[in-house]
Chains A and B, each alone.
Chain A
């Protein structure tokens, strides 16, 4: 079945550094991928839509200069948290769907837990 892989699964870094998270579709192509953020005991909040070969679309209230998204190929999207601060600590999750097959559901990665010290 469709598999979405995220890397790294867990990262700790100092305040002020930038962190890159990768999202890969392993056995299908995805022209669109999605990035979510989840704080403890809360639901997933959609941050942005990553579009292959074009600019990402950000949800209201999400800073595009803070959360840089690149979707350079049909199987890879990256999210870079720039100049990360403790309030950026969260669980970041990506999702994608096999666009080559109709009526397929979104599949999610296992998430990246980001801790900023």
Chain B
């Protein structure tokens, strides 16, 4: 699976949009981009995933560049409860369910 690169940490003011970038320059055509987050002392929580089109659900939006070499997870109105480590993972759907976690981005939302 393709390797991803994320900034180690970010800050965001409560109520503002949090934009978390991820680089996956070696992504293959059949590899999906998945985002999970892990709040302290809990298991990872699925947020969203996509292949090449932008995606939106009740939690977040996922913007994937046209060349698919990078993506951005957007939390439109961050709250204190969004403070967590966010992981961007690239994998081939239907091939293997293995998720290989990188170091992620620690998002701190402040009042």
Q: A-contacting residues of B (Cβ < 8 Å)?
A: 34, 36, 38, 41-46, 49, 87, 93-94, 97-104
What is the bound-complex CA distance between A36 and B41, given in angstroms?
14
How many pairs of A and B residues are in contact by the CB < 8 Å rule? 50
CB distance from B98 to the nearest CB of A (A): 6
Residues of A within 8 A of B (CB): 4, 6, 32, 34, 36, 43-46, 49, 91, 93, 95, 97, 102-103, 105-111, 113
Do B34 and A93 have beta carbons less than 8 Å apart?
A: no
A73 to chain B, nearest CB (A): 18
In angstroms, Cα B68 to Cα A105, docked, is 20
A113 to B98, CA, bound (A): 22
Given A105-B49, A108-B45, A110-B43: A95 touches B93 (CB 8 Å cut-off) = no
Q: Chain A residues with Cβ under 8 A from B103's Cβ?
A: 43
